[in-house]
Amino acid sequence: MSEQQTYLAPDVVPRLAAIDIGSNSIRLVVAEAQAGGRYRILDEERETTRLGRSLAAHGDLDAKSIEDSLTALRRFKSIVTGFGVESFRSIATCAVREATNGAEFCRRMQEELGLEIEIIDADMEAHLAFESVRRRFDLAGKNTVLADIGGGSTEIVLANGELVEAVYATQLGAVRLAEKYGGELTTDEQFLPLKRWIDRELRQTTEKPAAPLHLLIGSGGTFTSLASMLMASRGLSRLPAAGYRASRADVCHLIDRLRKMKPEERKATPGLNADRTDIIIPGLAVIDALMRRFRVNTLQVHAYGVRDGLLLTMIDQMQGTSAASAPSHDEQIDRFAEACGVNMIHSRHVAKLAGEIFAGLAQLYELPPGDRRLLEVAARLQDVGYLINYEGHHKHSYHLILHSRLEGFRPEELEIIANVARYHRGSPPKKKHENFSELTEPDRLRVRQLAAILRVAGGLDRSHNQTIREVKVDGAPGQVVLTVSANEYPEVDVWACRRRAELFEEIFTAKLTVQWAGQSITAEITAPPAAANGAGTTARKKAPASSANKSE
């Protein structure tokens, strides 16, 4: 059964279903869409099939797990059919994504059950989990870390408010770790190597946040099991686990308590499902390591996750936004920038100047015509990193743009935009920078060219008062002349432009000259202002042959 989209009359309540094929279990949820992007659950099913059972050791899905999954999915399909859903999607995550026979597994599901399975990447998995959190938590003014612990992997999202700053994919799955290190872990000889491996994986795959984090939000069976066990020990088992808060001390004490138990005692622990007995300690060890890594002392359990995020996005599409009511791509860019506290007048003006420079250079150099749009968007979004902090904001801008999921851009275009914004200030692009090294060689050249233009355009509004109305490009390859129009001599802005010219002159192999068209004359401007703050003077001094390129 492939995904279906049906637009129904207002009096018909649409039904939808989602299947999440994970490394530990397969889950089904059938729901009824409601107004405002919400839904009411009609049925839920879960089957533990352990698809990730042999992944760490052999790199493939074992035969028993495949057959168990086939049986479960056949039953789930019957349930979906019985409810007569209008929209249905089935996704597979880490185990199927990594397994050498993952594609073969999907082929069998298609041929034998008529189920079309989407294998989603870790980035999509993280964004679906965060979409669920974003809809159900008040994140305003908070720096949070979301961790979605599955059987084969843990996806981590750093967010400022409702905006994603970074997404990290790790191999810290509870099933994977249990396969590698065992599940009992009663002795230090068994447990300490596990802790060291988790810590090393986090150091290699994540960066510490620039600002202190307020909270860890956890989704997945490990977190709900943690909450259920802690609540049972405190006589609160009658209450739902959703929203439960725990401290790192709670996590550590629970790990110690479970490690002292014999397998049969652990299996009987109130609040712990029997099928999680052998993977609970590896999962809890991941939680403890996350709290240490990100220096968070409080976690809150989110009882939903990837399936919820998937359903919410399906409802958005189903109830959808018509072409007339949906915000345009331009409006989406402005909303994103405004949410990050960007000076919109300045950013739009820099985008205008950058576009004018690009258009002029296109007459002198072979520049891809479509890159003007990417440059102008990068200019409008270059300062979104201020949301995190000023210091290094260009680096934060890269991450925020990359994970913004702005519509109207292909993923590779969004990556170009994010890189150009990343290099609007600070050090120039270098191959040792991971974000830059992952680009193809042609795209690296595009980023260098566009970032060089953006630096110069940004300098032309250094004063943030739009003194320079427009800029025209003249000259020839090897000698580029910018003629700027302003009512008065724009000393500070021209000085800043020259200060940012080094990358431009290197990439375009050209000397850059800036001229002011004023009082019916054109005067060459090469001198920095007399005062450090550039105030007051209109003197035109002859400058040295070259000038430094230090970013503001």
Q: Is the dihedral of CA 271, 305, 341, 402 positive or negative?
A: positive
The 3-state DSSP class for residue 516 equals strand
What integer pLDDT is reported at residue 396 of this predicted model? 87
Locate 273 and state its tokens.
């499902």
State both tokens at 195. Answer: 């802790």
**Domains of the chain, CATH where assigned:** 15-120 (3.30.420.40), 123-306 (3.30.420.150), 329-525 (1.10.3210.10)
Please report the pLDDT score of residue 485 as a whole number: 94
Q: Check: CB of residue 45 under 8 Å from CB of residue 76.
A: yes
Give yes or no for a contact between 31 and 15, defined as CB atoms under 8 angstroms apart: yes
**CA nearest 363: which of 477, 215, 443?**
477
Rounded to the nearest 5 degrees, what angle is found at the Cα of 9, between the Cα atoms of 4 and 12? 80
Question: CA quadruple 379, 380, 383, 388: dihedral positive or negative?
Answer: negative
Tell me which H or E stretch contains 515.
Answer: strand 511-518
Spatial strand order of the sheet with 468-476 comes to: 468-476, 479-486, 511-518, 521-525
Confidence at residue 237, expressed as pLDDT on a 0 to 100 scale: 81
- CA–CA gap between residue 1 and residue 5 (Å, rounded): 12
Exposure string for 279-289, b = 16+ CB within 10 A, e = fewer? bbbbbbbbbbb
Partners of residue 217 on adjacent β-strands:
146, 300
Pairing of strands 479-486, 468-476: antiparallel
> What does the pLDDT read at residue 540?
30
Distance from C-alpha of 107 to C-alpha of 97, rounded to nearest angstrom: 13
Token pair recorded at residue 244: 């439960």
Structure tokens at 78: 């019957």
8-state DSSP, 23: S
Structure tokens at 286: 């991941």
| pTM listed for this prediction | 0.71
Q: Look at residue 236 in the predicted model and tell me its pLDDT.
A: 85
What is the dihedral sign for C-alpha 354, 359, 363, 366?
positive
Nearest CA to 161 out of 89, 101, 99, 211 is that of 211
Task: For the chain, give percent helix, strand, coil, nearest 5.
Answer: 45, 20, 35
Which mean pLDDT values do the consecutive 10-residue runs of the chain (552 residues) have?
A: 42 85 94 87 94 87 94 95 93 94 94 94 93 88 93 94 91 94 92 97 92 92 95 86 91 96 93 93 97 95 92 85 57 88 93 96 90 95 85 86 79 90 92 90 95 96 94 93 93 94 95 79 42 32 33 36
CB contact burial 345-363 (16+ within 10 A = b; e otherwise): ebbbbbbbbbbbbbebbee
pLDDT score, position 329: 77
State the pLDDT at residue 320. Answer: 67
Q: How is residue 308 written in tokens? A: 């919820």
From edge to edge, which strands make up the β-sheet containing 117-119?
Answer: 38-48, 25-34, 15-21, 87-92, 117-119
**What values do phi and psi take at 354, rounded to 5?**
-60, -40
- What is the CA 425 to chain-centroid distance, rounded? 22
pLDDT of residue 242: 85
516 alpha carbon, distance to own chain's centre: 43
The residues, any chain, with a CB within 8 Å of residue 546's CB and separated by 6 or more, are none
Query: Between the CA of residue 163 and those of 340, 396, 404, what are the distances in Å?
Result: 8, 11, 7
Q: How far is CA 187 from CA 27, 193, 265, 421, 506, in A?
A: 34, 11, 16, 50, 60
Query: For residues 419 and 446, what is the distance between their CA atoms, to the nearest angstrom?
Result: 10
The 10 Å Cβ neighbour count of residue 484 is 23
528 DSSP assignment? P
Residue 208, class by beta-carbon neighbours within 10 Å (0-12 exposed, 13-18 middle, 19+ buried)?
A: exposed
